[in-house]
């Protein structure tokens, strides 16, 4: 028993050894060499808690549904999120997913990926560039399957510079 206690004390001390190492700098993806980015949808959250993107880069977004329900990942600004929330609410009784009855105006569509439980979808996407001297728009990743947004299924996009 004393051996287990000593092991537990040593393990606890290792946890307090210091701060976790810093995230390495991001190398922006390009059309010929996109950066790979993972996004996991769970019931009712996303991992990572913040999606880091470089304006204008090309990424291969690996979106994985690790939850039991259908989920979607919609990337866009508040107007895009509001449009999808209204569209999904209007068909709350219909099956969720890309159907003719769930749509928004093309100018506010954002990037939308719908996944069934256990499904992985890979999308090559060029992140919108920002105007020089302007602040990039506040983007969010959200799920608007009825009730999911309200349960907190949303994370911010953090605009980062390339290394």
The values of phi and psi at residue 7, to 5°, are -65, -40
Predicted confidence at residue 56, as pLDDT, reads 92
Do the beta carbons of residue 120 and residue 62 sit within 8 Å?
yes
Q: How far apart are CA 114 and CA 95, in angstroms?
A: 12
Helix H or strand E segment including 41: strand 35-42
Q: How far apart are CA 78 and CA 93, in angstroms?
A: 24
Q: How far apart are CA 112 and CA 93, in angstroms?
A: 20
Predicted confidence at residue 11, as pLDDT, reads 43
Predicted confidence at residue 100, as pLDDT, reads 44
For strands 45-47 and 51-53, give the pairing: unpaired
Measure the CA angle with vertex 87, ends 79 and 120; round to 5°.
Answer: 90
Instruction: Work out the burial of residue 93: count CB atoms within 10 Å of its CB; fewer than 13 is exposed, 13-18 middle, 19 or more buried.
Output: exposed
The values of phi and psi at residue 111, to 5°, are -105, 125
**Cα radius of gyration (the chain):** 19
Instruction: Determine if the pTM surpasses 0.75.
Output: yes
Q: Report CA-CA distances (Å) from 74 to 35, 81, 127, 142.
A: 19, 7, 13, 5
Predicted confidence at residue 130, as pLDDT, reads 82
3-state secondary structure of 78: helix
Q: Which residues of the chain have pLDDT under 50?
A: 1-16, 20, 98-100
Give the chain's domains with CATH numbers: 28-159 (2.60.40.420)
Do the beta carbons of residue 154 and residue 147 sit within 8 Å?
no
Place of tokens 């995230």: 23
């Amino acid at each position: 028993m004393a051996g287990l206690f000593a092991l537990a004390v040593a393990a606890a001390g290792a946890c307090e050894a210091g701060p976790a190492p810093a995230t390495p700098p991001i190398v922006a993806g390009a059309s010929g060499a996109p950066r790979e980015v993972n996004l996991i949808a769970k019931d009712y959250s996303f991992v990572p808690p913040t999606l880091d993107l470089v304006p204008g880069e090309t990424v291969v977004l690996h979106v994985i549904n690790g939850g039991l329900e259908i989920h979607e990942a919609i990337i866009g600004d508040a107007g895009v999120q509001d449009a999808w929330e209204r569209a999904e609410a209007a068909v709350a009784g219909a099956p969720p997913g890309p159907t003719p009855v769930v749509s928004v105006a093309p100018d506010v569509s954002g990037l939308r990926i719908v996944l069934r439980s256990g499904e992985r979808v890979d999308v090559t996407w060029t992140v919108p560039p920002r105007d020089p001297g302007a602040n990039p728009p506040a983007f969010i990743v959200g799920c608007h399957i009825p009730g999911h947004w309200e349960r907190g299924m949303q994370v911010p996009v953090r605009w980062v510079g390339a290394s």
